Structure 1
């Protein structure tokens, strides 16, 4: 490239920078330039106007509900960047049974106070917003069966005591430190508190006998406690915590699924009364020996990847006679790392005929 051409390019770039420099970075036509001036700029600098291939603009909060009939039963508004509940005109909707406002920008649920006939609402979904406090007005929806407040910034559980028909309660990924103020929720079946800052399973759990699923993953819990009254509990997830010992589960005779991955377990114990157990996950612990498993005749899935299991004989003794065992995971253990080429074959030889999958791969696959 000639020196003359380089100089012209530098000059053009400098001119363009001067023209486009502005605190608010508005387009030329927005700064009051005439269309012919814009056209001249485009020609001089090789600029080109490109039509927006997706010209749709998010409607205002008010416009989102304008076309809905007053007797609508379900409102589902996801990812609309809603900030203001008041603008939705909720006072019109006298027959609403389900209100879903996922993935918006709400920092408060106080606007729900305008909703008439609150006893009709059965589902309220405020997942993934910016809510810091549970509005006292949520307590007015006394026939709610499902409430989702996951992925917000809530620190304290409160204003729920009147929701006695609640069956599903979700608080995943908040800032909750204590399980509290749930004692009146006698019909609660599914409680999800994963991804919080809980250190202790509090005595509140003693008062929730209807719980069937309890999800406590990604907290800071170090001990099993206050679970003995959960006679109907079928699923217990306490993954990614600080558990060092399996204990105090003797009363959970209905338990079918137990998820304990990513803890600090060194021993398999405390499973004697869990005769209905179908899924046991102890992935990523520090277990060196299989034990106390041979009585689990309903077990279909045993996940034990990334531990310290080094004996195929030990695997056969504990799992080889389980009639329903379908899936096992042992990758990342010495039995796999020390002999990867023979690993799958040896597992098949040491486990029963019911086995279908090893490490997520069917046994008849290569």
Structure 2
């Protein structure tokens, strides 16, 4: 998610330019009435080596000298291959998302005005021209081919930096970026967290999908609200002492945590005051007592672990959880899995992907009532064959009863005394 998504900009849809009509798609040499393989493609074959400036891919009136923002999304239609032709404009926001840009250039004329730059999903390498952008506060260069982020050191006013899905092997250039509140370096080639130690104002930190083996360098990060280090190579939760008061969401799915890895005194055993979301899915955890002290917790995601006993679930009663994900654990194979969870944790409003009623009402998967919506939220895909058979029998029986009642009503209206009590035959056995 980019900060630019929340900014109202003048977006020019590339699909409005040069797309084929239905008549253009007719192929006289084919037996098919249309050449469906060309739907949505340009009349001309896309040449990624052609030089196309922003002005070449949008209508002539798209560039208004009075506008301070430009946004061209290249998900369809012709793509920009070179930044240029922006002379005479005083742009505060530039968004050139999903194009074929390989080089950061042509931005010098906006050094006194440019605050937000998005070049998401291009082919940029290396990172250049940032020395001409002293007023930049938001930079999104995710999904490119960048190998070094050191030049970001020139942008000391940055508050949001997105550089995910590149080819970074280390974190550089952040020493003086003390205003940074959001950093996304996910899906790179990082092996450590070294380089983030001076981010004293950071609130949102994404480092998922790397090769990180230890949680480190967080001692000065006392304002972190959301920490995401999922899909790495972690085996211990540790070094979180200075996040006890600030941390609200912690995402550690798809690592190598077992019960022993959750025991360090500097980890999840700490008395976090505001932690409300904890994701430890796809690990090797069997005990839920590790989390019983986290009384502020609203959501616990621990799917695809090794929880085998419902007695472990009882340890979560003090948490007053709203949502729990325990699917694909051994206990989830129990026929009354959801009913037992609801009995043990009556405050739940969601079990896995299924909404459940609060105390005293609503349906919980695993048990059925006689109303027609009783199985609506059960989740057929998650059932065993035996459960599916039972559900189908109940649905069939309900359908027969409904049809029978309707026929009886119609017959009574037509004949007054005619009954159709036995027309439908016996109901299917439960």
- Quick check: TM above 0.5? yes
Q: Show the counterpart of 2:175.
A: 183
Q: Show the counterpart of 1:229.
A: 220
Matched, 1:248 2:239: yes
Give matches, 1:75-114, under 5 Å.
75-79=70-74, 80-86=78-84, 89-94=85-90, 96-113=91-108
Q: Show the counterpart of 1:296.
A: 294
Q: Show the counterpart of 1:11.
A: none
Matched, 1:274 2:266: no
Give matches, 1:89-238, under 5 Å.
89-94=85-90, 96-113=91-108, 115-116=109-110, 118-135=111-128, 137-202=129-194, 204-238=195-229
1:336: Cα distance to partner? Answer: 1.0
Structure 1 runs of 4+ aligned residues shifted over 3 Å read 45-60
Distance 1:273 1:143, change over 3 A: farther
Give the distance between the partners of 1:243 and 1:70, measured in 2 at CA.
52
Distance 1:47 1:336, change over 3 A: closer
Matched, 1:346 2:371: no
Secondary structure of the 2:70 match is strand
Matched, 1:357 2:350: yes
Q: Show the counterpart of 2:17.
A: none
Retained in 2: the 8 A contact 1:261–1:283? yes
Structure 1 unaligned blocks of 5 or more: 1-41
Q: Show the counterpart of 1:26.
A: none
Retained in 1: the 8 A contact 2:249–2:276? yes
Secondary structure of the 1:206 match is coil
1:238: Cα distance to partner? Answer: 0.6
1:182: Cα distance to partner? Answer: 0.8
Give the distance between the partners of 1:197 and 1:218, measured in 2 at CA.
8
Q: After superposition, what is the alpha-carbon deviation per residue over 1:50-83, rounded to whole angstroms, capped at 9, x for unaligned? A: 7998796589534346421222111011114111
Q: Which range moved further: 45-54 or 170-179?
A: 45-54
Retained in 2: the 8 A contact 1:218–1:238? yes
Give matches, 1:48-59, under 5 Å.
none
Give the distance between the partners of 2:155 and 2:82, measured in 1 at CA.
25
1:205: Cα distance to partner? Answer: 1.4
Secondary structure of the 2:106 match is helix
Retained in 1: the 8 A contact 2:57–2:80? no
Structure 2 unaligned blocks of 5 or more: 1-27, 47-51, 357-362, 364-376, 379-430
TM-score (norm 1): 0.80
